[in-house]
Structure formats: C-alpha cells, structure tokens
Structure 1
C-alpha cells in the first residue's frame, strides 16, 4: 500500500499516525492488519498473557499486556489512549463492541459505529477526513460472533483508507 489517491487539492486522504486495538480475532486484528499494510504504527492494550479466543495474540502485533486477563480494562484503556474510535460491526452492536461505544461516550471521545454489511467505506473516509485522529482505535466483534468478519472488516478498511476525496464527493 504505497500509493494513495489524492484529493482535488492534491492532498492525500487523511490517515492516522497510529492504530490501536485489543488484538482479539475479527475486527481488532483487521485494524492491526490495515496498519501493517499502510505502514502505520500500531499497538494498543491487550489482556495479560496476550489472551484471545484463539489462544494467544500473535507476537507480530505490537501490543502491551494489561495487569489483568479481563477484556474490559484493555477495551477502556484503548479508548482512553486514542483520539477517536472506529467501531465496525454487522447486524447490531452487542457485548464488547457495545462496551467500546459506552467507553467512548464516557470519555467524550469521537466515535463512528459502522455496520459494514450495509454501509459504504466512503462513510469512514469522510469521518476520518473530518475528525483527523492521530491515534485511531479500531474495534468490533470477534470472529466467533460473526465468522469471517475479520476478512470482511479488513477489506472494508482497505477500501476506506484508499478512498479519495473524488469518491467522497461523487
């Protein structure tokens, strides 16, 4: 991902300088993968022991372990440490994904909740260009909740990050 579309003014679409997530399967890892694809710094907090539903979060993801193996503390810390949170989901918000939105509201952080099964990636492009978060938290359901959501979220994010201002104004 070395080339990005330019806006009519010649500016590339806005991209954050850092992407964080909790490292869980599904949307969290899609966020980390898009960071790697775009050579954006990545990180975030994860449970003690790098706990995830598939065992251990791969070491290729530069995450910091919390003192606890519980998921909510890392979810909250990632919201606190970011400038804005992008929540990707399908069907409806529930569980940890809904908790992420509650933490964003509690900490007065901008957030966008996007149902990737019915929304356009251009909505994310517009939001990123408006909010311009330097540190972006990406969160959403784990793989077991919606099988295949990691791949769908990654494709959605790659399209959103590549979208140009021309596509936005169309």
Structure 2
C-alpha cells in the first residue's frame, strides 16, 4: 500500500519535471523540499518562495542536482523522450555515485505501465524521500503534465493497493 501522506517530494525547482512534482505536492498537501541553486535560479527566473527549497552554496545547477540525489532515498526521472541528456544525465551519474536507486519513467516507452513502474519502485526500495527529476520545460514542454498525471494516478485517492 502506498500512501502519499508518508511521502516527501524532493526536487530542485527547475521548470518542467521538478516544478510539476513540487506543484503536485503542494496541491495534495504532501511534504516537499530539496536543494535549489543559490539565488533560487531557474530558467524562468527566481524560484517562487512558496516552494520549500534550500539554496546551495553554489549557483550552479550541478550542485543542486547532486545534493537532491544524495539526500533522497531514490530518484524517479520523468521524460517524454527515451533519451537522457544534460542535467538529467547528471542525475543518473549522481545516483550511481551515491549508490541510490533510480528509475526512468518515459512516456514514449508504451510497453511499460508508468504508474505500476513508479509504484513498484517506491514499494520495493522503501522510498520515503522521493527525488523527482527530469528535463526542464524548454527541452520537453509536455513533461510537466506527464509528471502530474503519473503522480495523480500513482497516489490518488492517496491509497493504492499493489
């Protein structure tokens, strides 16, 4: 059984996948947090203070990415395209470095049910602090809606029986 009320969403506040997870958490009163770059920097400007994020000492995105992986129990990477690149690739490398479990949930890989994939990942690894990562909105504009849809289907109405 997965309970959203026992979950904490960790994310860096960038547009796209990060922001979708944080917005989902706020709407559903799920605890959230994470690291963001110094100055609360994102591609659309300064990250809104409503997101409970802590600034890293560096303004570089890479420090935020690594620290969110390090401080979570596991990472889900959402994307529309199967290719992983740029900051998302750094997320994978950080998960490997810190020996943290991670999963890639991709909309274009239709042979796998993304909701079941996420539920099993969280259940199998006992994830409480879930780092959510993926492309920024300028790279994959559709990822925001995809993240919210999968989180809704995985956790609402808050109890899912596997």
Both structures adopt the same fold (TM-score exceeding 0.5) = yes
Contact 1:89 1:141 in 2 (8 A): yes
Secondary structure of the residue aligned to 1:48 is coil
Mapped partners of 2:27, 2:108: distance in 1: 22
Determine whether 1:65 maps to 2:58.
no
Contact 1:14 1:132 in 2 (8 A): no
Determine whether 1:94 maps to 2:82.
no
* Count of aligned pairs: 155
Runs of 4+ in 1 over 6 A off after TM superposition: none
Structure 1 unaligned blocks of 5 or more: 1-11
**TM-score of the pair, normalised by structure 2:** 0.88
Name the residue aligned to 1:46: 36
Mapped partners of 1:13, 1:77: distance in 2: 25
Name the residue aligned to 1:135: 129
Name the residue aligned to 1:13: 2
**TM-score of the pair, normalised by structure 1:** 0.84
CA deviations over 1:83-130 (Å, ceiling 9, x no partner) = 111111121111101110110011000111111233422211121121
Q: Which has the larger radius of gyration?
A: 1
Structure 2 unaligned blocks of 5 or more: none
Contact 2:80 2:142 in 1 (8 A): no
Secondary structure of the residue aligned to 1:123 is helix
* Equivalent residue in structure 2 for 1:117, among 93, 108, 111: 108
Determine whether 1:84 maps to 2:80.
no
Contact 2:18 2:134 in 1 (8 A): yes
Contact 2:88 2:133 in 1 (8 A): yes
Mapped partners of 1:93, 1:56: distance in 2: 25
- Aligned CA RMSD, in angstroms, stands at 1.6
Tell me whether 154-163 or 123-132 shows the greater mean CA deviation.
154-163
Deviation at 1:34? 2.2
